[in-house]
Amino acid sequence: MAENSNKTKLLSYVLLAAGIAGLAFALVLDFSGSSAGFRGPLLVAGAIVFLVGLYFFPTVEHHRSIINFIFLFPLLFTFAVTVLIPLALGIVYSFTDWNGIRLTGFVGFSNYATMFKDPSFVWSVLLTFLFVIFNMVLINVIGFMLALLCTSKMRGINFFRASYFLPNLIGGIVLGYIWQFVFNNVLIQITSKWGMMNSILANTKTAFAAIVVVYIWQYAGYIMLIYVTGLTTVPKDVLEASQIDGANALTTLFKIKIPMIASTVTICTFLTLTSAFKQFDVNMALTNGTGSVADFMGSYLTNGTQMLALNIYNTAITKNSYALGQAKAVLFFIILASVSIIQVRISNSKEVEL
Amino acid sequence: MGMKKSSKIIFTILGTIVAIYTLFPFYLVVLNTFKNANGIVANPVGFGGVSFSQLMANISAVVNNSNFNFWYAFGTSVIITVLSLVLLALFGGMAAWVICRNKTKWSTAIYMVFIASMIIPFQVVMLPLISTFRDVSQFIGISMLQSIPGIVFAYCGFGGAMTVFILTGFIKGIPYELEEAAAIDGCSPEGTFFRIIFPLLTPVITTVTILNGMWIWNDYLLPSLMLGQNGKVKTLPVAVQAFVGSYVKQWDLILTAALLAIVPMIVIFLVAQKQIMNGMVEGAIK
């Protein structure tokens, strides 16, 4: 026993020393600007060897703390590098003249001032709000009606549920192109008989409606599933009691079912709100934001169907204005956070009233 | 009684109409991959011009296309998704267990940061993320952009918050007496986690894996930014985008590419339909 613990002790110290040595050597190479190809693997190996050494560290009272550290480390490390550090940097960059690689100085609020003077950006913001309102209302209403349909006693219910949900499995890019085909090649054959020779994607207003339709097609099945689960939690005896009391289907729906699934409504509203705000893939694949607007704030616009997420992407990646794009992204974050918090507050207060 | 029967028929008719609407685009995709470009333009809805040899010709034209490179993109997507899901389940489980079973200021603070971060949209971190990864690559000499390990690393970071949130909720419900009994029997804390807690997490890890898997497999923006539109490494959605960009309006090829991109997901859905639908709902409710 004693010999065994001595061996572990030795192993632990050797590993810790080797790990620190590896890390230190790799870091020295990094800071000295060496281009030795093994410095990266050495750094990673050093860190892993150090953690293993830490694991074998001969202690009883601190073993639990060491395990806690080792268990938390991987996720926290990746989270910090991919989310926390870029978020902090991003907020700083929005006040500078950052070009995606380096920056030369702070510019105060001038990025923010620029974007509010840009009619195409203001258009994107307003369009996004319109899109969110349309989708929040329509997806919830349609999803709820489909859920009522799918909880009624009709035949083949599993098939219907699965086929309504199916579009949600497909990524926005692919289904955006599929619908582009539907609008440009299939629907046009029908509408041309009525004298509409252009695709509905060619007109800004109808193209916007098309994005709304496609997004509902993608998302309503998912929201339906959540409402189905909510509706099945409504106790059967309550429904029976209301039937015995002579309540008709509509009264049961509005006075019993909907109030009893208020928390489900909150969840679905939140989901549709945040996902519609962040919509990017369908927007990009279906219209890529194009569409003409004759006169908005005194300018002619060509980004008639461009929503906020796509506007940010195009500002930074296509037009190469990284600092401006980042400032728009920070504003996007602020809007999304405030709207979500307000929505949750309102829903919670309503739930309490009920 | 008669009233009920008629409403049943009306419901079934309504349901069928909606089902036709939701499935119609899929029908068009499958149908038109059996046609050549002229056949699609002539009649995209009917069966005219359909032939099996044309389907084969379309598939081989798309699969061997250098912009699409289907098998390579498919393999890349599979590796990225599977690695990310395994690591998220493992690291997420470990982190959630520590957060749940240590009521210290630190663990509460970490949990709060995770929860709060779920509202952060990808757009606000994507630009500095790319530059951070580029700097890290140059500093340590391992490519984080245009590499599979880099993307898996990023998915662990982005998926971590939701994974920990759902897993913590589940671990709270596991009786602590189990762990105390194991400790009395001389089980180490890490042994307790891997032998007792982790196996109990199976149902909730299924939920988390479905939620993360749907998102990672279909994600376009992150891989397109990290890998580049025309980089060497491509995931399936990036490959579709690159392919469509180079073959504007060639619908026979574009629809075949779309079909190849959606078939894997449909197959998985047919096999694990119940688990996927339940998982998506449970993830939302929690």
Contact A286, A180 (CB under 8 A): yes
Residue ranges of alpha helices (H) inside A233-321 are 236-244, 249-251, 258-260, 262-277, 281-286, 308-313
CB contact under 8 A, A336 and B219: no
Mean pLDDT of chain B: 90
Contact A102, A180 (CB under 8 A): no
- The domain spans of chain A are 2-112, 114-353
Q: Report the gap between the CA of B194 and the closest CA in chain A (Å).
A: 11
CB atoms within 10 A of CB B104: 12
Find the largest Cα–Cα distance for chain A: 93
Portion 146-205 of B in contact with A at CB < 8 A: 153-154, 156-158, 160-161, 164, 188-190, 193
- Global pTM value: 0.91
What are B33-47's pLDDT values in tens digits? 999 888 888 888 888
- Cα–Cα distance measured from residue A43 to residue A26, given in angstroms and rounded to the nearest whole number: 5
Q: Which of A134, A144, A147, A154 is nearest to A273 (CA)?
A: A134
How many Å separate Cα A184 from the centre of its chain? 29
What are A234-260's pLDDT values in tens digits? 888 888 888 888 888 888 888 888 888
Query: Is the Cβ of B15 closer than 8 Å to some Cβ of chain A?
Result: yes
Query: Is the Cβ of B98 closer than 8 Å to some Cβ of chain A?
Result: yes
Q: Which helix (H) or strand (E) holds A296?
A: strand A293-296
**Residue of A31, A76, A83, A93 to mutate, interface with B, max B Cβ within 10 Å:** A83
Whether the pLDDT of residue B1 is over 70: the answer is no
Q: Report the gap between the CA of A282 and the closest CA in chain B (Å).
A: 11
What chain B residue is nearest to A100 in terms of C-alpha separation? Answer: B131
Q: Which residues of B touch A72 (CB under 8 A)?
A: 94-95, 98-99, 110
Q: Which of B193, B224, B203 is nearest to A72 (CA)?
A: B193
Q: Which amino acid is at A83?
A: V
CA-CA-CA-CA dihedral for B139, B144, B145, B151, to nearest 10: -160
- Cα–Cα distance measured from residue B44 to residue A178, given in angstroms and rounded to the nearest whole number: 13
CB contact under 8 A, B95 and A101: no
**pLDDT classification of A1: cutoffs 50, 70, 90:** very low
Task: Give me the pLDDT at residue B64, please.
Answer: 86
What is the CATH architecture of B71-246?
Orthogonal Bundle (1.10)
A114-353 fold: MetI-like fold (1.10.3720)
- Cα–Cα distance measured from residue A252 to residue A112, given in angstroms and rounded to the nearest whole number: 51
Q: Which amino acid is at B108?
A: T
CB contact under 8 A, B218 and A171: yes
- The domain spans of chain B are 2-63, 71-246
What chain A residue is nearest to B46 in terms of C-alpha separation? Answer: A186
**pLDDT classification of B266: cutoffs 50, 70, 90:** very high
- The CA angle B191-B195-B201, to the nearest 5 degrees, is 125
- Cα–Cα distance measured from residue A166 to residue B23, given in angstroms and rounded to the nearest whole number: 8
What are B34-89's pLDDT values in tens digits? 998 888 888 888 888 888 999 999 999 899 888 888 899 999 999 999 999 999 99
What are A177-208's pLDDT values in tens digits? 999 999 988 888 888 778 777 888 888 999 99
What are B120-177's pLDDT values in tens digits? 999 999 999 999 999 888 888 888 888 999 999 999 999 999 999 999 999 999 999 8
